[in-house]
Structure 1
Amino acid sequence: MASMIYRTLQLYLLLLLVARLAVASFVPSPAFQIQNLLRTVDLTKSYLRESASFIIENISEESQDEYYLALPFDIVGNSTDKHLVIMDVKEKRVDPVVNLVVEAGPANEDLGIQFYKLQLSKPLAPGEVSTIQIATASIGALEPQPKLIKQPEAQNLLWTGSKQALIPYKVARQRTKIKTPRLPDRGANAYSKAKDDPQVDGTTLTYGPYFDAEAFAAEAIQVRYEYHFPIVEVTKLERELWVSHYGGNLATEERYWITNSAAKLSETFSRLRWQASGMAGERSTAIKGFSLHLRPGARDVYFTDEIGNVSTSNFRADIRDPVLDFRPRFPIFGGWNYSFTLGWNHDLGRSLKVVSTEESGSNTYILRVPFLEGPENTVYDVAEVSIILPEGANVVDVFSTYKDYSKEELLLKSHLDTVGRTVIKLTAENVVDEHRRNDLYITYTYSSASSLHKPIIVSAAIAAVFFAWIILGRIDVSIAK
């Protein structure tokens, strides 16, 4: 009996080991071939963006409805400071472009690759072709070089990648374009070179074309370029939108905790050197200020920090494009932190729409607001967006074109509230500029009786105080002789 249990245990461990090795060495079947591929690496922002468009051909003898993408571990994020934050995949055949569902597949630890499975819009017959378009964004993939610089020195960023796109199938023809904000005149020290490769056109490097590449073909390259801008990282954002039907107002308040992830100073900060560089118009990696484009109709803008109101701000109340320019109390160099608060008001009618009206007096509303409205070229580690509805409102549905968030419903008691306000709190991590384009839709019901609840409570409280004052005034509290 004991020997049988022992043999069963051995068999189980052997099957477990085989399954683990199979996953660790997984590669897709060679059912496809890439006819033509154009890959673009965009280094113009403080985080990495890549896109590719390629034609796939089914070279197998059976129809195929699954295609695998491959991304290296250093892009997907195998540490706390590197994360893949966007993966948008589309397919184009004869019909219009279709968004494809992406599922995380097995990882090949031997190759250092994470696979993602695409479910094609319809099976691809043998010999049939289709076009795949993919866009990704990753944070933490660009490194300041060196990590310590002097105050007047320029900052360089280093990108390490491959000439070829990482494809788990054979590729007949491909090219890679790399866009930078500016290439320094440093020859081979600025980017990897081999004979006439790459071709340089202004700020764009083009590697290739390469022909008849095998699956997983890769050749490491590096691009080192000057980046005269700060790397703004919002470690935490608390964004609150207060809905007031009684006042017809939508009040927005945002609390920021930011850091500059650019190269740090190797020496003590010099105020005199900073003033001289400003007069000379020199560029710096320090955060000097922000320019925030608000929605039309923004008013009553304020900018404060822990000390109080900050006067170094200018609000241009343009009808179509209101802009808030504001500067912190001090320049924020690499590794420095700062926290501040922004706020403004909007007319509620610009964001709220009545969907239906019931005979009981209860109306159904849809509130449409941007998910984020912060400065551009910014990475948010954690963003908390809270929508505070009027007291008595009941949430029907919450929808956003941005999907990667967690949601919770809370109850908040503010000034003169009795029951409390419903709060929808959304929390998202690793948010970038592309996510700012998403809107948030809140559907809720709210009755006219609820809108009169607070005025009635306030009026009753004032009346109670008034009558109490009259009654107390008639009471004789003097001491009789």
Structure 2
Amino acid sequence: MFSSKFLAISILLSISCSFHFGSVISASNDNIINAKVERTIDISSQLVTITSQVVVLNKGSQAVKEYLIQFGDKHHDENLSYLSVTLVETKKKDVLKVSKYHNADSSFASYKIHLDDYAIPSGNSATLEIEAAFAHLLDPYPVEINQADRQLVIYNGRIYFPTPYMTETQTTRVRLPSSTGAESYTKLRPVTYSDRNINYGPYDKIPPTNDAATSGNEELRVHVENNTPFLTVENLSRTIQISHWAGAISVEEMLDVVHTGAKLKGPFSRYEYQREPGSNGVSSIRSWKTRLPAGAHDIYYRDEIGNISTSNVRVSSSSVYVDIKPRFPLFGGWKTKYILGYTLPAKNNLFALDTNTLTNGDYILRMPFIDHIYDNMIIDQATVKIILPEGANNFRLNHPYDVKRESDEIFYSYLDTIGRPVIVLSKKNLVEWHIQPFELHYNYKPFYLLQEPLLIVGSIFGLCILVMALVRTKTSLDGK
């Protein structure tokens, strides 16, 4: 009897608490209002970038320390490559911490912005600038084209700003790739079309976004010509090898690239392609420019056949530009594979933490995780291997964004005894915003610099002893 009453009371309390918890969440959402939203959706290249400036108003009695953002569907969530949120009011536009937030009531992802030190007081507002980059959001339509055809793509998104909060007023601008005009686009009034922009809004009193409230009027569909390079690096294997003895850092990259635009339908005519270079094969990719760090030298560019002599190198004060021109132009669905390597002086990227390296031996390597391969690049999978000198230990890695550290490996080269340690890192779905330096701290005692010379001297000395022993030893075939 007592146990049944206790169980009933427990159930009532849990239900009451759940209702109370739900009311707290609802009240929290009701207390935050998007006073003004200005969005720009840029589809002028193969990347889609969405920049939103949101004025967040706190109508509650307590300071707001967290803010949720959404992108409206799984297609955007799965192809999100880069996300950055800054506070406009600060002079330096401080970057805020963003983490993924699990929302059981929604079929698409939410992201939590941690305001922390910049909490919005009651009755005040703050302006957030949200910048997001997406890969593989533009779908070719038609999916196959002839050699002389234009390339058309479709973008599907939302006109309204996806958000769990009420929005007072908002505008959306879609930036197009060229002034040739859109084939078709969603016409949700008020809407204006001018030059390279489609302007939607302003729209007032927009309710919070949820799955149930999704309607056809909110959907955005733009069908437009886009002949910019749709070049994707399917796999990038990057090797960074450090040599304290030579004072140099060697970098080699193996790249598998593919044209991910509309596939070529029918045969390829080299004659027509060369006769009308401006109009025939307008969506093909003839070449692209790779930007290497300043000081890069001994550059080589080759594929499976051998060295490719059609490339050019241009040196500036801040970078080295390499004109990558494959053996054949790339049409939709075509692939190529090549190797690019170069050498850097160690003094530009390798630093001793103590000036007295004879006793300390602590170093820090500061290198970009990836290089600038081409404008608006997309890298599906990147693997970076850092080959350290033999004897290096105590590794400590700092990186500007999340990367996966794979199992360490051992690499053997000339005059190695125990092998060189290799740090292996990997990451998927990278874009230009990921060209940021990582830092690798390690310890390398100066004694190991003498290892190779001592091995050479010891080998020569041993060989001399062996020759002397053979010369002094008398041998005879008759045994006398």
The TM-score bracket by the shorter chain reads: 0.7 to 0.9
Structure 2 residue aligned with 1:118: 113
Relative distance call for 1:192 and 1:359 in structure 2 (3 A) is closer
CA distance in 2: counterparts of 1:350 and 1:458, whole angstroms: 30
Return the offset for 1:212: 2.0
Per the TM alignment, residue 251 of structure 1 is displaced from its structure 2 partner at its CA by 0.8
What secondary structure sits across from 2:102 in the alignment? strand
Q: Which aligned pairs between 1:463-474 and structure 2 lie closer than 5 A?
A: 463-474=461-472
Whether the 8 Å CA contact 1:160–1:221 is kept in 2: the answer is: yes
How many Å apart are 1:472 and its aligned residue?
3.0
Alpha-carbon distance in structure 2 between the residues aligned to 1:185 and 1:33: 36
What is residue 148 of structure 2 aligned with on the other side? 152
Q: Which among 85, 104, 121 is matched to residue 89 of structure 1?
A: 85
2:205 is the alignment partner of 1:212: yes
Matches within 5 A, 1:334-345: 334-345=332-343
Question: Which whole-Å CA distance do the structure 1 matches of 2:147 and 2:28 have between them?
Answer: 50
SS, match of residue 64 in structure 1 = coil
The answer for the alignment partner of 2:428 in structure 1 is 429
How far apart in 2 are the matches of 1:472 and 1:441? 54
Contact 2:190-2:201 within 8 A present in 1 as well? no
Q: CA deviation at 1:350?
A: 1.5
Shift of 1:210: 1.5
Cα drift, residue 282 of structure 1: 4.7
In structure 2, do the counterparts of structure 1 residues 143 and 94 end up closer, same or farther at CA, with 3 Å as the change threshold?
Answer: closer
Instruction: Quote the RMSD (CA, aligned, Å).
Output: 2.9
Deviation at 1:38, TM superposition (A): 0.7
Q: Is the CA contact (8 Å cut-off) linking 1:192 and 1:223 kept in structure 2?
A: yes
**Cα deviation, residue 228, structure 1:** 1.3
Residue 447 of structure 1: CA displacement? 2.1
Match of 1:373 in 2: 371
With the length of structure 2 as denominator, give the TM-score of the two structures: 0.87
Residues 51 and 131 of structure 2 are in contact (CA less than 8 Å); yes or no, is this contact kept in structure 1?
Answer: yes
Point out the more displaced range, 217-226 or 158-167. 217-226
> Structure 1 residues 400, 168: closer, same or farther in 2, change over 3 A?
same
Distance 1:366 1:386 in 2: 16
Which of 184, 193, 197 is the equivalent residue of 2:191?
197
Q: Which amino acid aligns with 1:169?
A: Y
Letter in 2 for 1:299: H
**1:76 Cα deviation from its structure 2 partner:** 4.1
Query: Judging changes above 3 Å, is the alpha-carbon distance between structure 1 residues 96 and 344 closer, same or farther for their aligned structure 2 residues?
Result: closer
User: How far, CA to CA, are the matches of 2:203 and 2:324 in structure 1?
Assistant: 48
Cα deviation for residue 255 of structure 1 reads: 0.6
Q: Please list the CA deviations of residues 406-457 of structure 1 after superposition, one character each: whole Å capped at 9, or x if unmatched.
A: 3543322222201211212111111111101x10212222222111111111
Match of 1:53 in 2: 53
Asked whether the 8 Å contact 1:170–1:214 carries over to 2, the reply is yes
The 3 A distance-change label for structure 1 pair 330 and 210 is: same
Amino acid paired to 2:73: F
Q: 1:94 to 1:425 in 2, by over 3 A?
A: closer
| Cα distance change of structure 1 residues 362 and 321 upon mapping to structure 2, 3 Å threshold | same
The whole-number CA distance in structure 2 between the counterparts of 1:429 and 1:401 is 15
| Structure-1 separation of matches of 2:274 and 2:71 | 45
Residue aligning to 1:451: 449
Distance 1:317 1:360 in 2: 36
Which amino acid in 2 is paired with 1:49?
Answer: T
Change (3 A) 1:320 1:63: closer
Q: CA deviation at 1:390?
A: 1.2
Residue 404 of structure 1: how far off its partner (Å): 3.5
Distance in 1 of aligned mates of 2:384 and 2:443: 21
**How far, CA to CA, are the matches of 2:221 and 2:320 in structure 1?**
41
Please tell me whether the aligned partners of residues 388 and 421 of structure 1 are also in contact (alpha carbons under 8 angstroms): yes
User: Which structure 2 residue ranges, 5 or more long, are not aligned?
Assistant: none
Is the 8 Å Cα contact of residues 357 and 363 (structure 1) preserved in structure 2? no
Aligned residue identity for 1:386 = K
How far residue 102 of structure 1 moved from its aligned partner, in angstroms, is 2.3
Preserved CA contact (<8 Å) 1:409 1:425 = yes
After superposition, the C-alpha distances for 1:276-332 in whole angstroms (9 at most, x for unaligned) are 233x56563223222111111111111111112122211223444321112111122
Counterpart of 2:160 (choices 141, 164, 167) is: 164
1:406 matched to which residue of 2?
Answer: 405
Structure-1-length-normalised TM-score: 0.86
Aligned AA (2:108) = I
Between stretches 130-139 and 27-36, larger displacement belongs to 27-36
1:192 partner amino acid: T
CA contact (8 A) 1:108 1:114 kept: no
Question: In structure 1, what is the equivalent of residue 33 of structure 2?
Answer: 33
The secondary structure found in structure 1 opposite 2:386 is strand
| Structure 1 residue corresponding to 2:173, chosen from 177, 199, 204 | 177
1:102-155 per-position Cα deviation (integer Å, ceiling 9, x unaligned): 23223356x643222233235433322111221112222110111000011111
Alignment partners' CA distance in 1, 2:120 and 2:315: 54
CA–CA distance in structure 1, aligned partners of residues 109 and 449 of structure 2: 53
* Contact persistence 1:183–1:225 (CA under 8 A): no
Q: Secondary structure at the match of 1:107?
A: coil
Query: In 2, are the aligned partners of 1:367 and 1:442 still within 8 Å (CA)?
Result: yes
Preserved contact between residue 190 and residue 200 of structure 2 (Cα < 8 Å): no
When the two structures are aligned, how many residues end up with a matched partner?
A: 456
1:301 to 284, 299, 309: 299
Change (3 A) 1:61 1:225: same
| Overall identity of the aligned pairs, in % | 27
* 8 Å CA contact retained: 1:298, 1:345: yes
AA in 2 matched with 1:65: K
Match of 1:325 in 2: 323
- Post-superposition CA distance 1:246-274 (Å, at most 9, x none): 11111110011111111101112222222
Which 10-residue stretch deviates more, 283-292 or 171-180?
283-292
Q: In the alignment, is the contact (CA less than 8 A) between 2:72 and 2:158 conserved in 1? A: no
State the shift of 1:180 in Å. Answer: 1.9
